[in-house]
Structure 1
């Protein structure tokens, strides 16, 4: 019956589309068109069988990797790797490839259009550059031109194409960035700073052995009492060189910020800092984080001396300390985790000073608090539509802030979910309304294209820890552009 069904479908397609290709002949390679009609094949190919089943044809290299993966899975779980099946079906002039993992899990691998050229099938998804093609297939110049035109048009964001800057509304403009993010010399920073101390240790500082146990005694002592923990969290919230924020899973994260050569805090995506210096001895990547409570990501076991399989000396060092999880990423060309050792020494001294301080605010670094009115300062980051934000506010109580943004003329929300996630943080606070606390953010506005400027209203919202209703603290208008994908 299945063979008869597919025969009838092929017959119908023959009359509807002329000489429709026999899809079951030979194999179809996952491919991408290139300039002048050339088509480049990947090692992945599919064989469509007349009974509606399909199979993936693997190269020798892929087959070896596949068997190794199955073997590792069995060694780890004691079970065979779940059987994976494929099928295909026709829907009018569309070919649907379907992946079946296990007994019931189905996933659409792709939908391809059966056109006039029997040598290749174009994707139904206009943004996709992947096609199915026969070995040796080529496109005509006109087919190639139309294919790339379709992709380009599908990726265009016309959100701001016809928008005009609003009249009679004052728009601030983002400050220019201070050179390329990737060319920054992170060592040019104030002498007496965490950043300087850690980076100066590369190639010169004390080393940690592979078996060294890591700890922060002062952190453990602070977290041993409710009063100590409350003091620590307020200090981290008020300190411009830390970002304290809450994840959707209700875990609090404190990550370190670095400054540029002018002393300004530079927030980054996930707070990884690195240097691609031409001298390997100057290259590094670093991140320092404390998580409250101490639960490893994805409930995975903690490996106190986890060494990654990347080149150079790359270490991810997580360890539990007083109910918190400390996680340090350290990559240099020098063995011995010198940045990790320096970071632990500095942080333990920092928290020891907090334990002994009578006035903890006096321990805050320059730029943490200022007198005046609330403000939002945007700065261009390394591409148009990507911004660093500097927020000065004082909500007067414990809680978190985040940004909302709207196109001014129509009130359309901008990147609502992503913006809220990227900008959420716990700021400092006090009973003095004239005292403003610093917070830094890094985010992307996805609506619009480079060079298409429009007006946006940014609102700073506060969510009290007490459970009281959220409230808007203030707003500010900016002339911005969106990020081009």
Structure 2
């Protein structure tokens, strides 16, 4: 009897501790009627392999989008405007906590094959199918460090998924609904112009492209802190592949942040066999060598790797930089 009492008491203590931990880390989950969304005639329903490749190639050639690789996951982040300009961010989140907007933070992803997800704990994620016409979203209530109501929706299809994060004051999911409608319209147009995209990597609907470029360029801009930089380039690419950045200290030619920079800056990019189109490349990178007090000269190089693993340098630029420090 004594042993049984000890075991029961220990179980109650453990349950209590676990409950307190979950409550502190996550907000309360609910599925309110105000968070039900309806989807009609989704373009993502019944896409075949060729359709998905057309969508992927379109995304790779559009500066509104950015295709990234992380391990065995390939996904595209939709850029949003910061100070009136579509800009890349480190993890694809776009925040707006200081304005009068009721939408605090968002992220839109199109993932290919495996879904990207939102952390290891998936209890707060709403999983749906492209065939579903009604989705009852899970809403995570406000909790420490996360104001407003949050939701993460994954609409799973055949080798393509839509992922939308919305953190907003209201329970109704205005951003999520609007985004689904926008994606449906955009990719419907893409599939109507598959021949043009197959031919030169872009479609003639110019309104869907925030920027078009007449010639190649390569800029390295300061990021949010010293040691963080944003690379923006327009490149002529004539075959399918990926682009990435290498950086070197010019004094001794030693490679900077070698174990992190290549993988974190690798992006799939648009291409055209005729070499007549300039395609966008943008990435944020961090240089870990050095500190905020000592400036030094560094050479940044843009490299291309084709589907067969062949690599070639396509551009370089030198500038003064700092190393990032905590």
> Please, what TM-score do these two structures have when normalized by structure 2?
0.77
**Distance of aligned partners of 1:236 and 1:71 in 2 relative to their CA distance in 1, 3 Å threshold:** closer
Match of 1:371 in 2: 214
**Distance of aligned partners of 1:282 and 1:475 in 2 relative to their CA distance in 1, 3 Å threshold:** same
Q: Is the 8 A contact 1:216 1:321 kept in 2?
A: no
| Whole-angstrom distance in 1 between the partners of 2:311 and 2:108 | 31
Q: What stretches of structure 2 of length at least 5 have no aligned partner?
A: 1-11, 22-31, 128-136, 198-202
**Distance of aligned partners of 1:278 and 1:345 in 2 relative to their CA distance in 1, 3 Å threshold:** closer
Deviation at 1:435, TM superposition (A): 2.8
Q: Is the 8 A contact 1:214 1:319 kept in 2?
A: no
Match of 2:140 in 1: 308
Instruction: Give CA deviations for 1:150-195 in whole Å, capped at 9, x if unaligned.
Output: xxxxxxxxxxxxxxxxxxxxxxxxxxxxxxxxxxxxxxxxxxxxxx
| Whole-angstrom distance in 1 between the partners of 2:249 and 2:106 | 37
1:271 aligns to 2:92 (yes or no): yes
| Whole-angstrom distance in 1 between the partners of 2:19 and 2:151 | 27
Q: Is the 8 A contact 2:150 2:168 kept in 1?
A: yes
Match of 2:59 in 1: 236
Q: Is the 8 A contact 2:110 2:163 kept in 1?
A: yes
| Whole-angstrom distance in 2 between the partners of 1:330 and 1:412 | 42
Q: Is the 8 A contact 1:367 1:438 kept in 2?
A: no
Alignment of 1:217-296 (within 5 A): 217-221=42-46, 223-224=47-48, 226-249=49-72, 251-263=73-85, 265-277=86-98, 279=100, 281-295=101-115
Q: What stretches of structure 1 of length at least 5 have no aligned partner?
A: 1-63, 74-206
Match of 1:6 in 2: none
Match of 1:3 in 2: none
Deviation at 1:306, TM superposition (A): 3.2
Match of 2:192 in 1: 356
Deviation at 1:313, TM superposition (A): 1.6
Match of 1:328 in 2: 164
Deviation at 1:393, TM superposition (A): 1.3
Deviation at 1:244, TM superposition (A): 1.0
Instruction: Give CA deviations for 1:332-384 in whole Å, capped at 9, x if unaligned.
Output: 112201000000001100011112225342135445442223x3211112211
Deviation at 1:237, TM superposition (A): 0.1
Match of 1:481 in 2: 322
Larger radius of gyration: 1
Q: Is the 8 A contact 1:401 1:461 kept in 2?
A: yes
Q: Is the 8 A contact 2:215 2:234 kept in 1?
A: no
Deviation at 1:474, TM superposition (A): 2.0
Q: Is the 8 A contact 1:407 1:414 kept in 2?
A: yes
Alignment of 1:174-193 (within 5 A): none
Deviation at 1:484, TM superposition (A): 2.1
Deviation at 1:459, TM superposition (A): 1.2
**Distance of aligned partners of 1:460 and 1:284 in 2 relative to their CA distance in 1, 3 Å threshold:** same
| Whole-angstrom distance in 2 between the partners of 1:312 and 1:65 | 31
Q: Is the 8 A contact 2:75 2:116 kept in 1?
A: no
Deviation at 1:418, TM superposition (A): 1.9
**Distance of aligned partners of 1:208 and 1:214 in 2 relative to their CA distance in 1, 3 Å threshold:** farther
- Candidates 295, 312, 317, aligned match of 1:453: 295
The residue matched to 1:400 in structure 2 has which SS? strand
- Candidates 389, 392, 395, aligned match of 2:234: 392
Deviation at 1:307, TM superposition (A): 2.4
> Please, what TM-score do these two structures have when normalized by structure 1?
0.53
Deviation at 1:451, TM superposition (A): 3.6
Q: Is the 8 A contact 1:379 1:389 kept in 2?
A: yes
| Whole-angstrom distance in 2 between the partners of 1:215 and 1:238 | 28
**Distance of aligned partners of 1:332 and 1:410 in 2 relative to their CA distance in 1, 3 Å threshold:** same
Match of 2:310 in 1: 469
**Distance of aligned partners of 1:65 and 1:379 in 2 relative to their CA distance in 1, 3 Å threshold:** farther
Match of 2:24 in 1: none
1:383 aligns to 2:225 (yes or no): yes
**Distance of aligned partners of 1:65 and 1:431 in 2 relative to their CA distance in 1, 3 Å threshold:** farther
The count of residues paired between Structure 1 and Structure 2 equals 283
Give the RMSD, CA atoms, in angstroms. Answer: 2.9
**Distance of aligned partners of 1:71 and 1:331 in 2 relative to their CA distance in 1, 3 Å threshold:** closer
**Distance of aligned partners of 1:408 and 1:290 in 2 relative to their CA distance in 1, 3 Å threshold:** same
Which structure has the higher relative contact order (CA within 8 Å, separation 6+)?
Answer: 2
